[in-house]
Structure 1
């Protein structure tokens, strides 16, 4: 996220000394089976969790709620370290910095057990940390994260699977852990995640407090964020002295942005989940996001939860795309358990030096077309079934 709380030594507050704020988020997406009607006659599901218990879960992850909004479909929370979205039978939480996101899992599962909610599917994703050495347990390495996740979700279906997408030695890679049972799935959900670094200095400056840029709404307007998904209802927040977060909700869909604007360490993330691919044009959405931040380096993941149900409804989300003014310098595709598919691309801004290297770059892989049964550019991570030491 874009929060930049620092003490006088330059270390992130509440953590060991760090060269800068870690923008790359950890993201956990957990789906639950719909319980029998007599267990939850109002259909509230996760939305029935009291605020006190949400706060307890977030304290374990080392973040707090700073703003909240809701509609008929979901509850949205801007956090001190990114975002939380609570649907009746789905929860998405992403945190940045040196938060311990996975530490929230045992508390969440205690609460959901009381609500008679059983996990059906889980997906954990993150990019490559800029400052991996300062990440606390259980985020010290991807292997450590997978072992921790396996303790709680390794018994789902055929067990958890873990992958690292992207080229070896190239920044960033995309880390995925996923597990799912074999129960009935809901309609396919499309998710776009974008990680942007080396933001244009003027674009990054829109998220540093100054006259006319003192509030979240002012930053939203100046950066043209309100036009990325113009029908979206926005809750935004400006941090001191710099940094920005936004959650948007539109029916059952959500989007979120987090910005760390410091020179030399600038980072912005964008996510959109649950939008109808026939109504939201993916290339146009990506172009609007890129126009707001003008990053020199861009990484992008597109995921569909059930490819078998989505093949004929994917619209532009199935297309190979590259933002104007950029060159794709890496593309991977991976099929996931229970029918999910993810593609991951990295792009760099076209400059004088990259123009000379055009022949070295390839077309980004599409989500479906011409790629059935193919996984490219991915390393499967061995998942060990031993228990995790929580010490």
Structure 2
């Protein structure tokens, strides 16, 4: 999925599924990949600036993304950060490599229904912690044929969306994939999220699972 002319921006999905005999509730899996992080935001994840993982979680704002979750966090020497969060049946994880020139952060969450907090609100909370120049959002559901793009519209302040893809995954549900660029940002040759406009709304009966 993604712009076929930009090989560094292709999102690969693998799926396997079988028809179930009993109904089940929808499960959503969210992945956000961010590059070119704001230098000041990234500096929090250097041990010389922030001496513990607990302080990184607090001072970066990560604690505010899903405030009711229980977090197990870890800092790396000399820099870097990871965390895993649990909230009921839902889980989340964050990984950060903050070095200038190839800074990157990822956020993943599975099991949230986006009722108390909308998808846009959750994405904006994550972006507040890192303020990336570019990022992508992938949302997967196990419900066959669900219209994710219509149910979860994304309108992110300060960014424009320049690529959208949507696929139905046979009995395996559906996935949507968006890329965003900061409104006043021009991508550099080093960027792994170079973007250009396209829209794909093809249905695919291949049975695959998101990675």
**Range into which the TM-score falls when normalised by the shorter chain:** 0.7 to 0.9
Specify which structure has the bigger relative contact order, considering alpha-carbon pairs within 8 angstroms and separated by 6 or more residues: 2
**115, 121, 125: which one aligns with 1:278:** 115
State the 1:248 CA deviation: 0.8
Which residue does 2:157 correspond to in 1? 324
Hey, what does 2:88 align to over in structure 1? 251
Residue equivalent to 2:202 = 375
Give the Cα–Cα distance (whole angstroms) in 1 for the partners of residues 97 and 122 of structure 2: 21
Q: CA deviation at 1:169?
A: 2.8
Do structure 1's residue 168 and structure 2's residue 1 form an aligned pair?
Answer: no
Contact 1:236 1:244 in 2 (8 A): yes
1:314-359 Cα offsets, whole Å, 9 max, x none, are 8x982321311111111000000215110001111111769xxxxx
With over 3 angstroms needed to count, the CA separation of the structure-2 counterparts of 1:208 and 1:352, relative to structure 1, is closer
Segments of structure 1 that go 5 or more residues without pairing to the other structure are 1-164, 355-359, 366-373, 384-391
Distance in 1, Cα, partners of 2:13 & 2:197: 24
Preserved contact between residue 244 and residue 260 of structure 1 (Cα < 8 Å): yes
Superposition deviation, residue 186 in structure 1 = 3.1
Cα deviation digits, residues 288-332 of structure 1 (max 9, x gap): 100100101101101111146x67xx8x98232131111111100
Residues 274, 349 of structure 1: alpha-carbon distance in 2 compared, 3 angstrom cutoff: same
Q: CA RMSD in A?
A: 2.7
Tell me which residue corresponds to 2:132.
295
Question: What is the aligned partner in structure 1 of residue 190 from structure 2?
Answer: none
Matches within 5 A, 1:36-51: none
Alpha-carbon deviation of 1:183?
Answer: 2.8
Q: Which has the larger radius of gyration?
A: 1
TM-score with structure 2 setting the length: 0.84
Unaligned runs of 5+ in 2: 188-195
Looking at structure 1, the residues matched to 128 and 65 of structure 2 have their Cα atoms a distance apart, in angstroms, of: 10
User: Which one has the bigger helix percentage?
Assistant: 1
C-alpha separation in 1, matches of 2:185 and 2:9: 23
Report how far residue 281 of structure 1 moved: 1.2
Which residue number in structure 1 is paired with residue 192 of structure 2?
none
Number of the residue aligned with 1:335: 168
Report matched runs for 1:110-259 at 5 Å: 165-170=1-6, 171-184=8-21, 186-211=24-49, 213-259=50-96
Counterpart residue number, 2:183: 350
Give aligned pairs, total: 197
> Aligned residue for 2:193?
none
The equivalent residue for 2:142 is 305
1:221 alignment partner, SS class: helix
SS at match of 1:237: strand
C-alpha separation in 1, matches of 2:132 and 2:28:
24
Aligned-residue offset at 1:223: 0.4
TM-score by length of 1: 0.46
Name the residue aligned to 1:157.
Answer: none
How far residue 214 of structure 1 moved from its aligned partner, in angstroms, is: 1.6
Kindly provide the CA deviation profile for residues 216-237 of structure 1, in whole angstroms up to 9, marking residues without a partner as x.
Answer: 1110011010000111111100
